[in-house]
Amino acid sequence: MTGLPTNKKTVDDLIALGGAEPPIMNSPPSQAVIQEINKLYGDVYVTGLSYFFETQWYDLKPDRGILTHHPIQLLLNNQPLMGLFGSFVEHISQPRADHKYASQLEECIVWGLAKLPLSTRCRGWAHPGMSISPYPIPPLDDPHEAFGRLQVFEALLLGYHSTLTENPLYHPIVLGNLHTSRRNELEFWWHLADLAIRKPNCDLQNLRRLLDGQENRDFLYSLAVLREYSYHWNPANIEQQLPPQLAESDPRCRLAVAARFIRTTMEEGTTNVVRRFAQLAYRAYVHPGASVSANAAWRYQQKSD
């Protein structure tokens, strides 16, 4: 299979290419399982999601009558996700758990958790461009920015199947009293979003200068490189086809480095979240290359050969 079905163009289809079929839960998780879910979410996934999307939105708070835009109930009331999470907890607690199947289940869970900001749309919150705020930059747990960054990542994973048509993020405002790291963060995501809504042949330099040595940005930059150059060359075998002594600035070299980084991150990423996202990126652009355009130049070359 070289592409997603024409009538299905979602990240869930990329997950399905991994072969896992999420189990159907006939009953809600027990209280003991719910406690374990809470613990896993707080100890493992909050850190991974917060670091990847560079937002504090995922640090869900207990609902104690205090007004909060992101209570833990957003997770606990999501019955399909809680059922899947419950299956995962029960599976990994078995003495002879299938680790491959567990990683496939975890993909479903990580993507489901990443999508939690979607619930903010149901509350009628306005698009950043429509909201009136006394603050020149979004707060660290801003729901709009979290949702927008999710949209951008989804668009990059889907490539030519993406339906994102406008930049959903706050435009970064350069202020003298804004810390460099925060400014770089906002600018990185803004330029990444700008690239995600445009056709290939975009300038990647704006991303390169804002990486700051952070794993999540290196990963997202590599994903953007795959999206950009996979139209011209096959990421699956680009390393074997590189001419000797090729300049690092050559697009083919950048594509090879990006594909290698994605493969490495699948195994050696510092968080469960980035490892599972790397698996999705690998399926999208390397093997089977489900998000690469059917009109990619190298596909025609393969047919002629």
pLDDT digits (tens, 9 = 90+) for 200-250: 666 798 899 999 999 999 999 999 999 999 989 999 999 988 888 888 889
Instruction: Tell me the average pLDDT of the chain.
Output: 86
Q: Please give the residue that has the higher pLDDT: either 300 or 227.
A: 227
Q: Please give the residue that has the higher pLDDT: either 124 or 23.
A: 23
**Has residue 3 been placed in a domain?**
no
Q: Collapse the DSSP code of 81 into the 3-class scheme (helix H, G, I; strand E, B; otherwise coil) and give the result.
A: helix
Tell whether omega for the bond before 235 is within 30 degrees of 0, i.e. cis: no
Asked if residue 45 lies in contact with residue 81, where contact means CB atoms within 8 angstroms, the answer is no
**Has residue 6 been placed in a domain?**
no
Most confident range, picked from 59-68, 126-135, 234-243: 234-243
Q: How far apart are the C-alpha atoms of 83 and 33, rounded to whole Å?
A: 10
**Has residue 201 been placed in a domain?**
yes
**Has residue 1 been placed in a domain?**
no
Q: Is the confidence at residue 67, as pLDDT, over 90?
A: no
Q: How far apart are the C-alpha atoms of 227 and 262, rounded to whole Å?
A: 12
- pTM equals 0.89
Q: Confidence class of residue 62 from pLDDT cuts 50, 70 and 90?
A: confident
**Has residue 88 been placed in a domain?**
yes
**Has residue 300 been placed in a domain?**
yes
Using alpha carbons, list the distances in angstroms from residue 218 to 23, 92, 178, 213, 284.
34, 30, 23, 7, 17
- Domain boundaries, position 119: 11-304
**Who contacts 155 (Cβ-Cβ below 8 Å, separation ≥6)?**
162, 164, 196, 197
Q: Confidence class of residue 63 from pLDDT cuts 50, 70 and 90?
A: low
Domains held by the chain: number:
1
Please tell me the predicted confidence (pLDDT) of residue 128.
47
Short-list 167, 285, 171, CA closest to 222: 285
Please tell me the predicted confidence (pLDDT) of residue 1.
39
